Structures are given as structure tokens and as C-alpha cells.
Amino acid sequence: MVDIHRKVSFCLLLLMMSFHGFGQRHLFSEVTIDRSKVYVGEPVEVSVGIYTSTWFTKGVNFGNIKVNGAFTVYFRSVSSTKQVNGKNYAGVVAIYNVFPYDNKDLIFPSLEFTVETPNEGDSKGVKRVVKTKARNISVKAVPNNYDQDEWLVSSSVSVNESWQGDLKNVKIGNVIQRTIYRKAFGTVSELIPPIKWDSVQGVSMYPTRAEINSEKSKTSISASRSDGVRYLFEKEGTVTLPEITVTWWNSRQNKLFKRTLKEKTLRVLPNPDLGMLESVKDSLALFNQGIDMETSVEEELNIFGLSLKDFLTYLAVILASLFLIYKLLKWLLITKGLLEKWKHKREAYSNSEKYYFKLFLNAATKKNSNAGLNAMYNWIDRLELKEPTLHYLAENYGNPAFISALDQWERKGDAYPFTEIHHIKKARKNYLKRMNQSSIQSSAHWINP
């Protein structure tokens, strides 16, 4: 009798389980990774898909995803179809890149999403919770024969160097600034290692604050980092500022690449005003500590013939009047619905290829080659190129003279000669003509560490 009760209970349990899964059997999830073993910093492409045999009555919101021990970058979501056991399923797939920053194995976590789909044979959407499976990712340590502090994984890296100061007439107490700019593709800025500055006898060194940035399109990501140092020359004689070697690992080619910035030898001349040396040292030390130097001015300033007090009074009145005019104009524009239209138009322009090309042209006319290169790569990222590089633009849309100028630039290791910017203008004109459009938009992006 007991055995009969057990058999009946077991059958009821199976029946309840089958009914429990009945409403969900037309819905399933899938997580795929393009590789299961990677080096520190090497990206893993993770695709998270949700499929249904009916349809989604509301859009699927994937949202931000956090992976412990890694930076996670969301690229885009795409529609997909899949056939399982002869049955067709429609799905939405979200694509992420996961960048491990620790020498520890990762777990891409199990996720839960709320979606709305109708049952088969019905049209009314029903809220359902879909849970994905976790995926393990094995992270390989940096090889022993490579410096872990300089390890960088990238498909391509460009390196440029700039100097500020009179290198031909250096005296004791003078300061020369050296800046190294790197642009790396297929990584995030947090993974670009800082430059190591070797000590130089007779020279004090004061590193500047690094500038980092990440740029993402729908299909690719790139990052940049700018490191600088100020050299303060304290002794007379010949000084050699050492070469800097930048390395990166290309995981596709399984090869280490190097770029060496040559050393620079300077002749430091004597300076009769040795008292300024300690003053400069103190100023640089305070700057590196983030302390603002304040100078008190005892004399009363005269601006446009007015005392400082009178000038500030008039300025306050003018600003208050302008503020009232601005509020009135804003009210009028909002009333007529013009402000929103202007905002949308301005936002569209500020994200356009045309706008970034204009910024590049303005930066190219200045002496700061670092700013020019930053503006140039930001503009190139707005073009829908298979490879967001200046070489790709030149080879596919430029002329032989453009390609030759680029080759000379890389051989010399100098900043790009923006005086020959007409090559870039012609290549852009050919590109726009071939694409049959006047501007190209780039998508907004986020990076979730």
C-alpha cells in the first residue's frame, strides 16, 4: 500500500513539473562566448540571447552588466532567428566585450530578464522571467618574460611624442616638458599602462596628470592615454634623456610589438641666476601635490579706467540684465516650441562627422600636435570604416601622395605634418562621395567597469 502511494505521489510530481514548464517552453535564453581562455586585458565577446517561438510584445531591456574582475562594454543588440528541432524562434541578442583586469578566472554571471511574450496561439503579452546560465572564462597570466606593469593587449597602437620648451638653449633651472600620446584599438583606457620615466642624473622629474579617454562605436572600441613629465635641469653639462619603448601584445597574431621613441641629448648651459632653481623646484613640487599657487596683489587694479570695485559693480549689473533677457527669450522660445527644435538640431550637429572634422581642422592649425592628433582620431572614429585608422582612410580613399606622406611620418616618428592637410580633405571628399551622404553619426556609448 505504501508503494502505491509513493508511485501516485511521484506521478503527481511529474505532472506538476510539466504544467509548471508549459507556459515557458516557447521561451529560452542562450549565452555564447567567442573564446574561453584569454590573457589579462584581452577582450571576450559575450552574446546574450533571448528567444521565443511567438514574439516580444515589448522591447527587451538588457541594461548594464557588471562582471567582477573585468570592465564590461556594451556594443549593441541585434535581431536574430534560430531553429530548434525544426521549430523557428525569433530572438534578440545583446553583444558585450569583457576585459579582465586581474589574473583570476572570471564568471560571466547568471542574469534575469523580464520580458513579455504571448503564449502560442494567443496574442496577449504575458510577463515572464528568463534566467541565463553563467559562463566561465579562464584568464591567463602575463607571460613571465614580459613586464607585467607594461602589459597591454591591443590590435593596433599608435605612439606620438611632443616636447614643450627650448631644447636648443637649455640652462640650469629651465623646465622641459615631454608628453607621450598613445592610441590603442580594441581596449579601454583603464587598461593602458602608465609610462615609466627613468631617472636622469642632474635632473629632477615631475610627472603630470595623465589624460585618458575611451571611444566606442557600434562595432569597435578604442582608447587613448597621454602621459607627461617635466624635466628640471639642475647641473651644467651634457644630459641624455633616455629612450622610451612602448610595447603591446597582438593576440590575433600572437606577437609582441614594440615602438621606440629615441633618446634626446641636450647641452645644459650655466645660469648666473641660480637662486631661481629652488623657486622653480618648490613651484613644481606644489603643482604635483595639487596645491594652487596664490599670489596676493597689493596694488589696486584699473580696468577700462575703472577701479576693480566699480568694474565688478558694473559687471554685476550687466550680467543681471543679460540673465533677465535670457529668461525672457527662453520663455518666448519655449512658448513657441522653438527651443526644443533648436536643441535637437544642435545635438545632431554636435554628434555629426562634420562637427568633429571642423574641430580637427581648428586643432590642426595650432602648434599643439597632441591636440591635433586627438582631434584627428576622434573624427576618424565617426567614419564608418572597417578599420578606424588614418592608414585605412588613405589606402581606400586617398591618393599616392597621401600614403607616401604617412609612410614618411611613421619612419621619422614625428608628429603628422598638418601643413599637408589637403590630403585628408581630398580623402574625406572621396569617402563622402562614395558613401553618398554628407554626414555620418556615431552612436552614444557607455562603459561599465
Model confidence over 100-117: pLDDT tens digits? 998 899 999 999 999 999
Set of cell numbers at residue 449: 567597469
Topology of domain 22-140, CATH: Immunoglobulin-like (2.60.40)
pLDDT for 428 equals: 86
Longest CA pairwise span in the chain (Å): 112
Q: Which of 131, 97, 121, 118 is nearest to 29 (CA)?
A: 131
Domain ranges, ordered by start, for the chain: 22-140, 148-288, 306-347, 351-448
Say whether 372 sits in a helix, a strand or coil.
helix
pLDDT for 341 equals: 75
Residue type, 393: L
Does this model's pTM top 0.75? no
pLDDT for 63 equals: 75
pLDDT for 45 equals: 95
- pLDDT below 50 — which residues of the chain? 1-2, 7-24, 291-302, 438-449
**Alpha-helical regions (H) of 152-292:** 275-288
pLDDT for 419 equals: 62
Say whether 112 sits in a helix, a strand or coil.
strand
pLDDT for 48 equals: 95
Say whether 403 sits in a helix, a strand or coil.
helix
pLDDT for 306 equals: 54
Set of cell numbers at residue 63: 541594461
H or E element in which residue 310 lies? helix 308-336
Q: What's the first-to-final CA gap in the chain, in angstroms?
A: 61
